[in-house]
Chain A
Amino acid sequence: MKDSIIEIKNLNIEFSSENQKVVALEKINLDINKNEFICIMGVSGCGKTTLLNALAGFIQPTNGKILLKDNEIQGPGPDRAVVFQDDAVFPWLSVEDNIAYSHKIKSKYGDKEKELVNNYINLVGLEDFKKAWPRQLSGGMRKRVDLARAFSAEPELLLMDEPFGALDIMTKEKLQEELRKFWVERPRTIVFITHDVEEAVFLGDKVIVMTPRPGKIDLIIEPNLSKNRDMSIKSDSVFFDNVKKIRQRIKDH
């Protein structure tokens, strides 16, 4: 019996242009289990975004394959929602319409969908901003819209590419706590990319450390922290030991 929903097998991705060839990912083998919260960690340029793009279906493997529930990934689809590093909230839709987007494009938007969308709006604490335009929100609030929009599509897999990278530390930690709480309440399979060691250890139940280019899997750590957590865990020695271990490993590269 296997409960992995994603299987990455011998994945290689190269980019070639007329004057040079870049091997972005080399021999990646990884299984991702259902409802697992995985963080992928690595220095800038090691191929994290490339991996995420391959999972999302925006780029095709040079060699090897990625299976989603035993089917090879062909292109982007609603079973894999992405929260991009850059702001991707649709500025011409209200907060509510953004979060309802995946439902409203299907002709069916009934009471059931409305309630679901409302739940997510409340969950990210934007009930007072339902009708607001995204431009009227702060960066942190927009990120919340982005998260709620991805969650409300109820995808098989949630892909997040350094979603909090551009935020200040206070907002970032608050959103980290919220995201973790979100996930505990409504388990989903999440692949979360970051280059922030503490963020990776705080959020993930599994942290995958990648080598610099060409990106390979270097180390897989399961920090074994308590399921429900908030920032106070950062003073925990288990948390700290894991952070130290990863820091040391990256330094040794």
Chain B
Amino acid sequence: MKFNHKYLSLLTIIIIFSIWFGITGDGFALVRKFIFPSPRQVFEAILRISDIIPLDILYTLSRLIVGFFLGSVLGVTLGLLMSYSKIINSIFDPIVESIRPVPVIAMIPFLIMWFGIGEIGKLVLITLGVFAIIVVSTLEAVKNVPKIYVRAAKTLGANDNQIFRSIIIPGMIPGIVGPLRVATALSFTLVVAAEFMGAQQGVGYRIMEARRLFVTDVILLNVIIITILAGIADRLVRYITDYLTRWSERK
């Protein structure tokens, strides 16, 4: 008998939902709304704040996209430049090595002091976090491009510039696919943290505000929203990187 394992996952989801129903206010009310809201309460929260949800999402996503984009473009560019030139590498290596292990969230107080609680501090936080991951993995990915391709290109008449464009860049892409996904997930954490530290709009800000007012259904609703967004973003990144590495063995 063929057994579709997807049914197992479906079963898990059904069980989790049943438990959620069962123990919160809608069922036996073992857990009070204040501790963990019921599905119905979350649904009601949607109706209650439906006018501010889109705007919050818009703010959060804008910050995230700009920060992620800046961080990865800067990271890939510096990583490539560092692997291209020994001089650039020597100059930037100490900087990269010293910011790499810093948990960027620990920098939040400084960022507030330097940039206030406006948009710039938030962007710097996300950019920095993404940059640190991407620059290091770009360097690593370039190192992992098999030397035989470089040699073959040389005997086919390619100069350093052409090797860089036609061998190093395509050859390193599979090496930064994983890090790009990690960086995507990290930017969601960072954008929420950035909005915690002070904002007027955004999913993270809404969670903080709801905590102050003890409206836990709004907290849970926003947690769900940000989770769904992160899931969609991960799919999107995977879709794009799958396309860029469609030539590769993996799959």
Interface residues, chain A, with chain B CB atoms under 8 Å away: 56, 58, 75-78, 80-82, 84, 86-88, 90-93, 101-102, 105-106, 133-135, 149-150, 153, 155, 159
Contact = CB atoms under 8 A, between A and B. Distances in A.
A81 B155 contact: yes
Contacts of B162: 105
Contacts of B249: 91, 135
A58 B149 CA distance: 13
A76 B247 contact: no
Contacts of B151: 56, 58, 76, 82, 84, 88
A82 B157 contact: no
B148 interface: yes
Interface residues of B, number: 20
Interface of B: 148-149, 151-158, 162, 166-167, 170-171, 173, 246-249
B148 A102 contact: no
Contacts of A92: 170-171, 173, 247-248
B81 to A, nearest CB: 21
A38 to B, nearest CB: 18
B156 A149 contact: yes
Nearest to B250: A135
A105 B247 contact: no
Contacts of A91: 247-249
Question: Which of B153, B155, B167 has the most C-beta atoms of chain A within 10 angstroms of its own C-beta?
Answer: B155
Contacts, number: 69
Interface of B is mostly: helix
A101 B148 contact: no
Interface of A is mostly: loop
Nearest to B158: A105
B148 A86 contact: yes
B75 to A, nearest CB: 21
Contacts of A86: 148
Contacts of A105: 153, 156-158, 162, 166
Given A90-B170, A101-B166, 12 more contacts: A56-B155, A78-B155, A80-B155, A81-B156, A84-B152, A91-B247, A91-B248, A92-B247, A92-B248, A149-B156, A150-B156, A155-B155
B166 A88 contact: no
B154 A76 contact: yes
Contacts of B171: 92
A100 to B, nearest CB: 10
Contact of A78 (B149, B157, B246, B248): B157
10 contacts: A58-B151, A78-B155, A78-B156, A88-B151, A90-B153, A91-B248, A92-B248, A101-B153, A105-B156, A135-B247
